[in-house]
Amino acid sequence: MIGARHVQRDSAEPSERRLLNIVEEMALASGIAVPLAFVMDDQRTINAFAAGYSPHQAAVIVTRGALENLNRDELQGVVAHEFSHILNGDMRLNVTLIGVIAGIVLFGSIGAFLMGGGRSEGGENARARFDFRLFLL
């Protein structure tokens, strides 16, 4: 979906081995299971994010640009920042907020549909449809 590739433990690429080592070190230091590591090969910008609903289902995703342009200490800082999101439950909060926003949009869409979508319609038939829609609410 996002174009990320899972980094295999037996990867021969040094930058990917370095990423896996850093992710494993951070997991050991923070006391959580080692999250999956992914690379977005087509992204040359420096970026990273964490995904998953809980620490046991987490993944750390970094861009190819981050792997190629950051030294080990810098990449470790980026991965540590993503681990802070995992440990603080930010991913769960984001999923919850997405659900709340989707619910609000759904109710707004239903309301707009029932109220005629904001179109002005004239005549007695329009009044009857309006009354019926209010009755449904």
Q: Which residues participate in catalysis according to the annotation?
A: 82
User: Helix/strand/coil (H, E, C) string of the chain?
Assistant: CCCCEECCCCCCCHHHHHHHHHHHHHHHHHCCCCCEEEEECCCCCCCEEEECCCHHHCEEEEEHHHHHHCCHHHHHHHHHHHHHHHHCCHHHHHHHHHHHHHHHHHHHHHHHHHCCCCCCCCCHHHHHHHHHHHHHC
